[in-house]
Structure 1
Amino acid sequence: MTLDKFHGIIPAFYACYDNEGNISESRTQALCDYLLEKGVQGVYVGGSSGECIYQSLDERKDVLTFVAKYLKGKMTLIAHVGAPSTRDSIVLAKHAAELGYDALSAIPPIYFRLPDSAVYKYWSDIIEATPLEFIIYNIPQTTGYTLTPALFEKLLTNKKVIGVKNSSMPTMDIERFKKVGGKDVVIFNGPDEQFVAGRIMGADAGIGGTYAAMPELFLKANEFVKNGNFQQATEIQSKINDIIIGLCSMNGSMYAVIKEVLNRRGVNIGSVRAPLEGISEADTVSIDAIVKTIDQAIEQFCR
């Protein structure tokens, strides 16, 4: 089994809405075309950046359908199918398998604090629902659950488990998971602010919520790491972090700001769904500055 198709830069796909706030196929296609043109290795569909917890089951199925329609066979497709119930997760998993996705992924169960035994069964039930490979999503700061190396090792007894999307902040977690799985798993760096550090500590690839706002920078940072040019990789990470701090400093949510950045770059995918907040009038000047910073960084590092 080769895991090469899961290596590289994999943006988390954003929710694409029309002017009334409904899922838009045409705007989904526009984001697909944009990311394909940028040369990223894949997309992670229906996760946090996709506003999955604010969408109905049918809407989530539609998003999976539209992305597969425009990107299947052109890049690696990973479907995030985590949902409040195992039943809904399995519905999404089967739908993704029918559409030809390359792998599934899921956060642990949310809201109720469940023991490891329940979390293990939740992930195992999803894994057994389809023939697809599976990537665990560890994001304790939002789910309240922390994947341990011991549970990861237990899950790896199922050969369909191929890795972890690790969005916990300590880079040591990446090193620990890589030590457990070795060369037979893919560890994805989650926190964009530490992409370079995560790669150096053992991450094989990255899945990130800000990648699509500046794919050129993450592709170049990954190239620097692969070539052992850690000084320039660190310099570009510093610029990326300046941009991320800006994206998170507005009145609107980070995703609303990112969507406006994309709009300024010619890709209109709408705004965000409440309770996420859209951008305010006061944000527009700051967004202009962020777009300028991104363009200058691309000129500095990628030309």
Structure 2
Amino acid sequence: MTVEKFKGIIPAFYACYDETGDVSEARTKALCSYLFDKGVQGLYVGGSSGECIYQNLEERKATLKYVAESMKGKLILIAHVGAPSTRESVELAKYAEELGYDALSAIPPIYFKLPESSIYKYWTSIMDATGLPFIIYNIPQTTGYNLSLNLFGKLIENKKVIGVKNSSMPALDIERFKAAGGENFIVFNGPDEQYVSGRLIGADAGIGGTYAAMPELYLKAEQYVSTGNFAKARSIQKDINDLIIALCSLNGNMYSAIKEVLKLRGVNVGSVRGPLEPVTGDDLETKIPAIRDMIDAAIAKYQD
């Protein structure tokens, strides 16, 4: 397993619902095709963007299955299998392996404040369940646990641990994880607002929740970083951040805003599941089209 296989822009895949709010096979596969056609390198399936904590086990399995049927062998597929219990996480991990996913990933256990010994056992139980490589997911702003270098050091002794998706905001964390993991260890930048700085300080690739709303911009940002065009990289990151702020400023959840923008960009993946709120009223009628126009203008700006 090498870093090269996982480099690039990997959107965190959205939950795709039909008009009744059930997981939709057709819409899941349509989003797969849309992102494949845009040129992304992989998909991160079943994480925060996939509304995993609001779906039951069978719904999560369905999404994993539909994505694998559509994109296995075409894109790198990473299955996020973090769930409320170790038993459910292991079941999802085994299913993802059966479907042919390239790697597994998981947040730490949520709700109860657990000692690091419990977190270590949780992650290693998932790893021991399959032969797939494993990517740690550090997202302290939602889980309440920030991966320590001490636990990180213990985890990477296991050869199945090939990387970390780091979504903590300090760019220093990316640098420290990369320094400890080494050159053949994969660090994914998590915070979309700092994709460029994350890459420069040590991230090898990116997994993000807004990538699928504007994949062209992240692909172009990666081009600028990888070719050393740092002035353009800073400029496109500023435009990306303007868009993220706009998406987060509406009366509904950010993922609802993204899904409404996607409808205007030609792919309908439904809305969000409660307690996440949909965008409504003037925000839906006026501001969503304005954000779509902002995305299109930014794409046109960097067609060089």
Name the TM tier (shorter chain).
over 0.9
Partner residue of 1:143? 143
Q: Per the alignment, in what secondary structure is the counterpart of residue 34 of structure 1?
A: helix
2:3–2:204 Cα contact (<8 Å) kept: no
1:164 aligns with 2:137: no
**Residue matched to 2:16:** 16
Aligned equivalent of 2:186: 186
Give 1:245's aligned residue. Answer: 245
Aligned residue for 1:299? 300
Q: Percent identity?
A: 67
Match of 1:66 in 2: 66
Structure 2: runs of 5 or more not aligned: none
CA–CA distance in 2 between the matches of 1:134 and 1:9? 18
1:10 is paired with a residue whose SS is: strand
8 Å CA contact retained: 1:217, 1:302: no
Distance 1:157 1:175 in 2: 19
Aligned to 2:289: 288
CA distance in 2, matches of 1:8, 1:2: 13
Secondary structure, in 3 states, of the residue corresponding to 1:151?
A: helix
CA distance in structure 1 between the aligned counterparts of 2:177 and 2:157, rounded to whole angstroms: 14
Q: Determine the structure 2 residue equivalent to 1:207.
A: 207
Amino acid at match of 1:127: M
Counterpart residue number, 1:108: 108
Distance between the aligned counterparts of 1:3 and 1:24, measured in 2?
33
Distance 2:303 2:183 in 1: 30
Q: Over residues 271-303 of structure 1, what are the superposed CA-to-partner deviations in whole Å (9 max), with x where a residue is unaligned?
A: 000000001022121111110110000001135
1:7 match: 7
For residue 302 of structure 1, what is the amino acid of its counterpart? Q
Q: Please give the alpha-carbon distance, in whole angstroms, between the structure 1 residues aligned to 2:127 and 2:9.
A: 24
Task: Tell me which residue corresponds to 1:121.
Answer: 121
Q: Which runs of 4+ in 1 moved over 6 A?
A: none
Offset, 1:65? 0.3
State the distance in 1 between where 2:192 and 2:136 align. 18
Give the TM-score of the pair, scaled to structure 1.
Answer: 0.99
The answer to whether the 8 Å contact 1:90/1:126 transfers is yes
Residue 77 of structure 2 is matched in structure 1 by 77
Q: Could you tell me which amino acid in structure 1 is paired with residue 269 of structure 2? A: I
The Cα of 1:2 is off from its aligned counterpart by 2.1
The answer to whether structure 1 residue 55 and structure 2 residue 31 are counterparts is: no
Q: Aligned to 2:48, what secondary structure does the other structure show? A: coil
Tell me the distance in 2 between the aligned counterparts of 1:15 and 1:4. 28
What does the per-residue CA deviation read over 1:36-63, in whole Å, with 9 as the maximum and x for residues that have no partner? 0000000000000000000000000000
What amino acid is aligned across from residue 15 of structure 1 in structure 2? A
Which residue identity is paired with 1:281? G
Question: CA separation in 1, counterparts of 2:150 and 2:219?
Answer: 33
Per the TM alignment, residue 182 of structure 1 is displaced from its structure 2 partner at its CA by 1.1
Q: Give me the CA root mean square deviation.
A: 0.6
| Conserved? CA contact 1:43–1:78, under 8 Å | yes
Please say if residues 216 and 302 of structure 1, whose CA atoms lie closer than 8 Å, have aligned partners that are also in contact: no
- Unpaired runs of 5+ residues, structure 1, are none
SS state of the match for residue 188, structure 2? strand
